[in-house]
Amino acid sequence: MYEPIVGVEVHAQLTTSSKMFCSCRAEFGAEPNTNVCPVCLGLPGSLPVTNRKAVEQVIRTGLALGCEVGTLCRFYRKNYFYPDLAKNYQISQYDEPLTFGGRMELSVEGRPVSIRIRRAHLEEDTGKNIHLPNGRSLVEYNRCGVPLMEIVTEPDFRSAAEVREYLLQLRRLLWYLGVSTANMEEGALRAEPTVNLRDPETGERTPKVEIKNLASIRAVHDAVEYEIRRQYHCLETGEPMQQETRRWNEAQGITTVMRTKESAEDYMYFPEPDLVPIEPEPEWVEAIRAALPELPQARQQRFVAEYGLPEYDAQVLTEDRATADYFEAVVQACGEPKACSNWVMGDLQRLLNESGCSITESRVSPQQLAELIGTIKDGTISHNIAQAVLPKMWATGHSAREVIAAENLALISDATEIEKLVDEAIAANPKAVADYRGGKEKALGAIVGHVMRQTKGQANAAVVNELILARLNG
Ligand code: ZN
Ligand code: MN
């Protein structure tokens, strides 16, 4: 019985302000062909200079993935001709990558899965060809020379679900490290899986297929799933297969042949003569390691252990660092971790979505949200009223207690005041009273409801219940 063998190669644009080998800006979305110079256009006589920040970001990522850092890392020229590559070669790394030999632990459908990371190295991005409907093509060189990190796994995935989980975890890690926006729509994160099938007994394999043109994690998942099925089908029907690169067609949900695969030799890699090899000093590497933030998987586990949160909450809250920081600030100010989690993931998130704000731009600070949660805890307002208070805090910038005072929303807990209302409610609902006395406990609801309507929900429900019971049983 054949099993799927899947590996994933990811290219992530780094967040440096300048390009890999020149001082051009590396931003996304600038006017076409404005961020270019002789170096990134590959003009004769220009010389590249390595961006130290980019090297640091790759080492940072490699360390977070449990990789070793190389002691002598060379750049190579990967030669090929394509219009979006002005130099006719890409400066990349070959057999001496910056970092190698890491691992990522995943949990997929409740099972632990361990994925080996072969390497995380540094290279430069290419430009972009834009093909017009009239048959002409344009070349955009702004992206040419932008620092690119390539992260390659061993072929350790056995299903599309494992690949999806890896990409979700990797993207979250890159966000935490602040090394990439990892935005797939903008092309800042590109994933290329390789898929084939292997007979574990005989070692026989189907030819390896690489899939390109994947614009989302979901597309990667669907394409891998499709490709596994297609190869099983070819095995069954005896349809010939070959080593090739296939393109994902999102609309039709199929892969189609793009080109037959080049081998590494086709690129004629040779050492880049214009750049000295990088020899990262051990002190520098240790300083980068010491400055690593708490990593997302560890933080997620801590949220479960320390705050007693459900696994789901812990995962959502640690999706990005800012949300996790916000949540922890709220908990620090008011305790009540589960209530804080519900507010951050629920009502606050809704307001953020509606206004298109990120959590760092929230108009309600963690301290203000903590105060609101505190007013429920001390019985000043009910949960329902608090849900109406939060949008008012958002709109006005006022604190919870200011909104409650201004709109007179505090619960009525004064027994004399409520007693009067309870007496009215009892008088107005003789049938409910009779039913209750006849043994129907549920009939009490009608009387409680009467008091709540009279007070627009502002009576303290605990006090109301207590007083009604005292009257009826007394
Ligand atoms: Zn440049
Ligand atoms: Mn590459």
Answer for the pair 116, 153: CB distance below 8 angstroms, yes or no: yes
DSSP structural state of residue 73:
B
pLDDT at 267: 84
Looking at all shown ligands, the one closest to residue 122's CA atom is: 2
pLDDT in the model for residue 444: 87
Report how far apart the first and last C-alpha atoms of the chain are (Å, whole number).
Answer: 77
Give the distance (Å) from ligand 2 centre to CA of residue 125: 8
Let me know the angle formed at the C-alpha of 256 by 252 and 260, rounded to the nearest 5 degrees: 170
pLDDT in tens, 157-173: 999 999 999 999 999 99
Could you tell me the fold of the domain covering 415-473? Arc Repressor Mutant, subunit A (1.10.10)
- Cα 265 to averaged position of ligand 1 atoms, centre (Å): 28
Q: Within 13 Å, how many C-alpha atoms sit on residue 25's CB side?
A: 9
How many whole angstroms from 126 Cα to the centroid of ligand 2?
A: 10
Work out the burial of residue 454: count CB atoms within 10 Å of its CB; fewer than 13 is exposed, 13-18 middle, 19 or more buried: middle
What is the rounded CA–CA span in Å between residue 22 and residue 300? 39
Structure confidence at residue 213 (pLDDT): 87
Q: 433 vs 223, which has greater pLDDT?
A: 223
> Which region, left, alpha or beta, applies to residue 108 given φ > 0 means left and ψ of -120 to 50 means alpha?
beta
Alpha carbon of 51 to ligand 1 centroid (Å): 12
Q: Contact 36/28 with Cβ under 8 angstroms?
A: no
Phi/psi of residue 199, each to 5°?
A: -90, 110
Among the bound ligands, name the one nearest to the CA of residue 48: 1
| pLDDT score at 28 | 86
Judged by average pLDDT, the poorest of 130-139, 144-153, 437-446 is: 437-446
Residue 265 has pLDDT above 80, yes or no: no
**Of the bound ligands, which one is closest to the alpha carbon of residue 36?**
1
User: How far apart are the CA of 286 and the centre of ligand 2, in A?
Assistant: 27
The two structure tokens encoding residue 456: 């627009």
* Residues with Cβ within 8 Å of residue 439, at least 6 apart in sequence: none
Buried b (16+ CB within 10 A) or exposed e, 160-199: bbbbbbbbebbbbbbbbbebbbbebeeebbbbbbbbbbee
Residue at 300: amino acid letter: Q
Q: How far does the centroid of ligand 1 lie from the alpha carbon of residue 143, in Å?
A: 10
Q: What is the mean pLDDT of the chain?
A: 94
Dihedral pair phi/psi, residue 331, rounded to 5°: -60, -40
Centre of ligand 1 from the C-alpha of residue 141, in Å: 9
* Residue 406 zone, left/alpha/beta (φ > 0; ψ -120 to 50; rest): alpha
Summarize pLDDT for 266-296 with one digit per residue, the tens: 788 999 999 999 999 999 999 999 999 999 9
Q: Which ligand is nearest to the CA of 11?
A: 2
Q: Which ligand is nearest to the CA of 120?
A: 2
Distance 452 CA to ligand 2 centre (A): 66
What integer pLDDT is reported at residue 227 of this predicted model? 97
CA of 123 to the centre of ligand 2 (A): 7
Q: How far apart are CA 348 and CA 233, in angstroms?
A: 48
- Map out the domains of the chain as residue ranges: 3-284, 294-398, 415-473
Q: For 354, how many CA atoms within 13 A lie in the half-sphere containing its CB? A: 10
Rounded to whole angstroms, the Cα distance separating 75 from 55 reads: 12
Q: Ligand 1: distance of its center to the CA of 91 in Å? A: 14
Per-residue pLDDT tens over the stretch 95-122: 999 999 999 999 999 999 999 999 999 9
Sequence-ordered list of residues with C-beta below 8 angstroms from that of 61, at least 6 positions apart, any chain: 99, 120, 149, 151, 173, 174, 177, 179
**Residue 153 C-alpha from the chain's centroid:** 19
Query: What's this model's pTM, rounded to 2 decimal places?
Result: 0.85
